[in-house]
Amino acid sequence: MAWATDLTTPLITDELPQNWFGWILKFLFSLNLIFSYPLVLHPAHIVIENYLYNGMAKSKKRQWLKNLTRTILVGITVIVTVALGHELDKFLGLLGALTCTPIAFSFPAIFHYKALGHKSTTTKLIDISLFVFSLCIMAYCTFEDIIMWED
């Protein structure tokens, strides 16, 4: 509200000088994004492949199925990016509400409960209360993001 409604934030690469140095930096930044994309998707690949190919023996068929799974995952992410590219900030807000809230609040409470929850009833009560509160925060933030999507 303090900055008005017509405030637009330029991309960081738009602020670079418009000379050969700026173009080289933009090119290197793009190259960095292209080569770091497999690192970003690697944890998702591991989880999906462990789920799908857990009992399958190592073979050429398994290798090609894993390659197909990876290709499909990349295709899905490209489709989602193209479809939601104009509303990326809203999409990231929704993902943050759904995924970052448990990482920041739920998991520490669960880990503390598992590690030290047996010490006292008060500790158990605090850990369970924090976990329930984190679920409420996640539900509220997700609900608000969905309601505010069209604004």
Q: What is the pLDDT of residues 3-31, one digit of tens each?
A: 556 656 666 777 777 888 888 888 898 89
Does some domain include residue 83? yes
Q: Is the pLDDT of residue 136 over 90?
A: yes
Q: Is residue 65 part of a domain?
A: yes
Give residue 99's domain range: 53-150
**8 occurs within a structural domain:** no
Give the three-state DSSP class for 47: helix
Count up the domains in the chain and report the number.
1
Which residue in the block uniquely carries the two structure tokens 């999409």? 91
Establish if 26 belongs to a structural domain.
no
9, part of any domain: no
Selected residue with higher pLDDT from 139 and 13: 139
- The reported pLDDT for the residue numbered 87 is 82
At 9 the pLDDT is 67
Averaged confidence pLDDT in the chain: 85
Q: Where are the extended beta strands (E) located within the chain?
A: none
Q: Is 0.85 surpassed by the pTM of this model?
A: no
Query: For residue 101, is it within any domain?
Result: yes
Q: Within a domain: residue 81? A: yes
Residue 39 lies in a domain: no
